[in-house]
């Protein structure tokens, strides 16, 4: 059986980490693409030289030509610029929109059957533009945000409750930005919802509210500390989890930026919702009933995403 092919567009911090993880997990052979000559070749040579020690058989190749991604089963996109301290994800819009055009056209030409995961920010608007520029079906193009945001939330909750991260499940919806909506009642420790844990005296509402805020600001906190770039380990791990669900037809239920066609009362846009990822790509959008503040928060987040889509359309009128 032929090996799977994983194409990574963008060979920077996240791209390099994705290549490392994909090789360690032997998900398939890896092509790392970047516009900078030498960068992807250097990273893949370095990674290949770790394979005898690690014992993985994935082949890694660096590329500056889109022809090298031909026939990819999965494409993960991180091409673009990351945030600097003081910048919001939205500040990246103008530059990264142009990058999405080039990347989308490259994918459309050489990897039209791939499952595409976008990580480039501002995520919800970039994945929307990428899908259109690529011409791929909407169920095969999605964005990575919710898995990362939920993982950040779970990490903080595990610390607060002093329990294993393995027993924490958490749920974050909405756009990938300061307006994301962590759903406390669907966040649990081994099935016990957080509101019950508060009643049991494990924490207080005030502390949970602080954790929600820290989760919302999770990316900015890391940008502030790194000063020269944004988070890369957890974003890469999160996208790999989505790619594995597709490649192995796992049918994981994960929060992702997915294209909506009437679900949640929304159409023709991408926003973070729970989905099932299997061999058919985004196989199902799971519609949960939002209550009170959750609904208000989700609406607020959706409006922020719509604002970014408008800004994209002002720059590129071909976007519909």
89 is in an annotated binding site: yes
- DSSP secondary structure letter of residue 58: -
Is residue 20 part of the annotated active site? The answer reads no
152 is in an annotated binding site: yes
Residue (171 or 232) nearer to ligand APR, CB: 232
Nearby residues of 39 by Cβ (< 8 Å), 6 or more positions away:
11, 12, 62
Residue 85: phi and psi, rounded to 5, are -55, 135
Residue (21 or 119) nearer to ligand APR, CB: 119
Separation CA 90–CA 121 (nearest Å): 7
Closest separation in Å from C-beta 48 to ligand APR: 19
131 is in an annotated binding site: no
Q: Which has the closest alpha carbon to 271: 174, 129, 130? A: 174
Element (H, E) at 62: strand 60-63
Residue (37 or 159) nearer to ligand APR, CB: 37
Closest separation in Å from C-beta 308 to ligand APR: 13
Closest separation in Å from C-beta 57 to ligand APR: 26
- Tell me which residue has its CB nearest to ligand APR: 12
Closest separation in Å from C-beta 41 to ligand APR: 12
The residue with tokens 């693409």 is 33
252 is in an annotated binding site: no
Q: Which of 20, 155, 176, 300 is catalytic?
A: 176
- Count CA atoms closer than 13 A to 18's CA, side-chain side: 36
57 is in an annotated binding site: no
Residue (34 or 73) nearer to ligand APR, CB: 34
Nearby residues of 15 by Cβ (< 8 Å), 6 or more positions away:
8, 9, 32, 34, 40, 43, 76, 78, 79
Separation CA 114–CA 126 (nearest Å): 18
Residues that bind ligand APR (CB under 6 A): 9-15, 34-36, 39, 78-83, 92, 96, 99, 102-103, 119-121, 229-230, 232, 235
The CA–CA distances, whole Å, from 146 to 42, 199, 203, 309 equal 31, 27, 24, 19
15 is in an annotated binding site: yes
Cβ(282)–Cβ(275) under 8 Å? yes
Closest separation in Å from C-beta 68 to ligand APR: 12
Residue (121 or 170) nearer to ligand APR, CB: 121
Cβ(261)–Cβ(267) under 8 Å? yes
- Could you list the residues known to form a binding site, using ranges: 10-15, 34, 83, 89, 96, 119-121, 152
Active site residues: 176
- Could you list the residues known to form a binding site for substrate, using ranges: 83, 89, 121, 152
- Could you list the residues known to form a binding site for NAD(+), using ranges: 10-15, 34, 96, 119-121
């Amino acid at each position: 059986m032929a090996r799977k092919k994983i194409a990574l567009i963008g060979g920077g911090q996240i791209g390099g980490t994705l290549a490392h993880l994909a090789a360690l997990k032997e998900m398939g052979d890896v092509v790392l693409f970047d516009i900078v000559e030498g960068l992807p070749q250097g990273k893949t040579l370095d990674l290949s030289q770790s394979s005898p020690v690690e014992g993985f058989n994935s082949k890694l190749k660096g590329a500056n030509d889109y022809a090298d991604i031909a026939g990819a089963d999965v494409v993960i996109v991180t091409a673009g610029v990351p945030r600097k301290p003081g910048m919001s994800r939205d500040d990246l819009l103008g530059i990264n929109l142009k990058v999405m055009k080039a990347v989308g056209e490259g994918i459309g030409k050489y990897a039209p059957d791939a499952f595409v995961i976008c990580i480039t920010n501002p995520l919800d608007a970039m994945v929307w533009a990428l899908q259109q520029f690529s011409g791929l079906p909407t169920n095969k193009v999605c964005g990575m945000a919710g898995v990362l945001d939920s993982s950040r939330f779970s990490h903080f909750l595990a610390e607060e409750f002093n329990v294993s991260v393995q027993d924490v499940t958490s749920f974050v919806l909405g756009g990938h930005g300061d307006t994301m909506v962590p759903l406390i009642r669907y966040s649990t420790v081994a099935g016990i919802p957080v509101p019950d844990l508060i009643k049991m005296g494990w924490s207080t509402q005030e502390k949970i509210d602080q954790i929600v805020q820290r989760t919302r600001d999770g990316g900015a906190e890391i940008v502030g500390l790194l000063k020269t770039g944004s988070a890369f380990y957890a974003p890469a791990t999160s996208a790999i989890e989505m790619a594995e669900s597709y490649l192995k037809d796992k049918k994981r239920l994960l929060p992702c930026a997915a294209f909506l066609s009437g679900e949640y009362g929304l159409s023709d846009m991408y926003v973070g919702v729970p989905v099932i990822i299997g061999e058919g790509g985004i196989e199902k959008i799971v519609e949960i009933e939002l209550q009170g503040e959750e609904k208000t928060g989700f609406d607020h987040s959706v409006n922020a995403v719509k604002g970014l889509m408008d800004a994209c359309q002002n720059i590129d009128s071909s976007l519909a």
